[in-house]
Amino acid sequence: MYNIAIISGDGIGLEVMESAEYLLDKLDINFNFKYGEAGFECFNKNGTTLPEETIKIAKSSDATLFGASTSTPGQPSPIINLRKELDVYANLRPIKSYQGIKSLKDNIDFIIVRENTEGLYCQIEYEDNDKIIAERIITRKASEKISEIAFKLSKRRNKQNKVTCVHKSNVLKKTDGVFKESFYKVAEKYPQITTEDFYVDATAMYLITNPLNFDVIVSSNLFGDILSDESAGLVGGLGLAPSGNIGDDNGLFEPVHGSAPDIAGKNIANPCSMILSTAMMLDYIGEKETALKINNAVENVVAKGKILTPDLGGKSKTMEMTKAIVKEMI
Ligand code: NAI
Ligand code: MG
């Protein structure tokens, strides 16, 4: 029996979480779901975007599923704070091309490892007369920790055996200087892994001109976030981009996308990013075979090209695609 926290949030977060729950219900595994609130609607109701109760539920679960939240003016981001509360310091964002879906190149297959606890995402901003200041904190400890994860992952993937460090140390000489230095310090422990480092602006171009170059990309919080939406765009969009936030004691799984107010309420959101995030969650709790089955089912449904949501060129609704994926698993 696994205790799983379910935090749907706002907008399409609610719709894609329905897909995840539908799928989990059909599995031959026992789950005890605990539900938590977060986000914009939650703020309107409770005066906070992330209630203590939700943090408690997530902390006491074996893993957490998060949908998406709409940002609330003047309030901190619930997902950033939840990542902090759970100390899930590594945000893993796999990117791969799917047969049947237009991709910039066939066989794109890399993973972004994004530092999750510091950088500009500390949300420390203040004013000093006419100066508006955002703090960008980078520590050696967090930089080494995230590089360590990246090298381990490249070794485990056993594909190109390469890690690319992405930074902007030509301008952010101190903060990104430390990020890069930490990367090369950790690299010494992994002589069998090839290393390279690029500036973030050049990386944004290389992702388009030579996406097959990449195996594991490690970067700081904001750069990792921006590059992951760009990378999702290479292989069919945010509807196919899952993510896992991993720490020493907790795992929090969520699609890369947000609450998509432009399509919310229409039941046309692509459920795959949430379903693939659910597979990452199952892999994390030890249900590796089921995780693999889900990934294969998504691949097959997408490749058949019959039941697809509009973002992938189809006409199907969120639950129609979800049911097709579940049926494919049996
Ligand atoms: P978004 O990721 O919600 O949407 C960007 C574009 O991708 C939209 O055109 C949307 O329709 C499309 N899209 C996203 N997911 C899709 C799916 N599953 N199926 C089909 N199309 C999909 O980003 P946006 O519009 O910049 O932000 C909307 C809200 O979400 C904002 O309030 C933002 O702050 C919040 N946000 C929350 C995140 C989270 O909770 N982790 C992450 C990113 C944004
Ligand atoms: Mg993002």
Q: Nearest bound ligand to CA 78?
A: 1
Q: What's the Cα-to-Cα distance from 132 to each of 124, 125, 126, 174, 188, rounded to whole Å?
A: 11, 7, 6, 20, 40
User: Alpha-carbon distance 92 to 145, whole Å?
Assistant: 14
Q: Report every protein residue that has its C-beta within 5 angstroms of ion ligand 2.
A: 225
User: Alpha-carbon distance 81 to 290, whole Å?
Assistant: 30
In this predicted model, what pLDDT tens digit does every residue of 192-230 receive, in sequence order? 999 999 999 999 999 999 999 999 999 999 999 999 999
Question: Which helix (H) or strand (E) element contains residue 83?
Answer: helix 78-86
User: Alpha-carbon distance 63 to 58, whole Å?
Assistant: 7
Which residue owns the Cα nearest ligand 1 atom 37? 258
C-alpha dihedral (302, 307, 310, 316), degrees to nearest 10: -150
Give residue 270 CA to ligand 2 midpoint distance, Å: 17
Q: Put residue 123 in one of left, alpha, beta given phi > 0 → left and psi -120 to 50 → alpha.
A: left
Give residue 188 CA to ligand 2 midpoint distance, Å: 31
Supply the pLDDT for residue 160: 97
Which residue owns the Cα nearest ligand 1 atom 27? 258
Cβ-contact 95, 241 below 8 angstroms: yes
* Residue type for position 264: A
Which residue owns the Cα nearest ligand 1 atom 10? 260
Which residue owns the Cα nearest ligand 1 atom 32? 70
C-alpha dihedral (204, 205, 207, 213), degrees to nearest 10: -120
Supply the pLDDT for residue 122: 87
Q: Ligand 1 pocket, 311 CB below 6 A? A: yes
Q: Ligand 1 pocket, 70 CB below 6 A? A: yes
Supply the pLDDT for residue 286: 97
Supply the pLDDT for residue 123: 87
Which residue owns the Cα nearest ligand 1 atom 40? 68
User: Alpha-carbon distance 91 to 277, whole Å?
Assistant: 12
Give residue 149 CA to ligand 1 midpoint distance, Å: 27
Query: CATH number of the domain at 1-91+239-330, please?
Result: 3.40.718.10
Structure-block tokens of residue 14: 């609610």
User: Alpha-carbon distance 14 to 12, whole Å?
Assistant: 5
User: Alpha-carbon distance 316 to 308, whole Å?
Assistant: 5
Q: Ligand 1 pocket, 19 CB below 6 A? A: no
Q: Count CB atoms within 10 A of the CB of residue 284.
A: 19
Q: Nearest bound ligand to CA 93?
A: 2
Supply the pLDDT for residue 330: 81
Substitution candidate for ligand 1 out of 44, 238, 256, 316 with most atoms within 8 A of CB = 238
pTM of the full predicted structure?
Answer: 0.96
Supply the pLDDT for residue 86: 97
Which atom belonging to ligand 1 lies closest to the Cα atom of 269? 19
Substitution candidate for ligand 1 out of 257, 275, 322, 325 with most atoms within 8 A of CB = 257
Supply the pLDDT for residue 270: 98
Residues in CB range of 265: below 8 A, 6 or more apart:
11
Give residue 20 CA to ligand 2 midpoint distance, Å: 20
In this predicted model, what pLDDT tens digit does every residue of 71-90 receive, in sequence order? 999 999 999 999 999 999 99
Cβ-contact 8, 57 below 8 angstroms: no
User: Alpha-carbon distance 145 to 156, whole Å?
Assistant: 17
Parts of the chain with a pLDDT under 50: none
Nearest Cα to Cα of residue 138 among 177, 84, 86: 177
The domain spans of the chain are 1-91+239-330, 104-234
Question: What is the domain class of 104-234 according to CATH?
Answer: alpha beta
Helices assigned H by DSSP within 87-199: 140-157, 175-187
Tell me the three-class secondary structure of 63-77, residue by residue. EEEEEECCCCCCCCC
Give residue 15 CA to ligand 2 midpoint distance, Å: 19
Supply the pLDDT for residue 110: 98
Query: Which of helix, strand or coil describes residue 82?
Result: helix
Which atom belonging to ligand 1 lies closest to the Cα atom of 257? 2
Nearest Cα to Cα of residue 65 among 8, 128, 149, 1: 8
User: Alpha-carbon distance 110 to 116, whole Å?
Assistant: 18
Q: Ligand 1 pocket, 71 CB below 6 A? A: yes
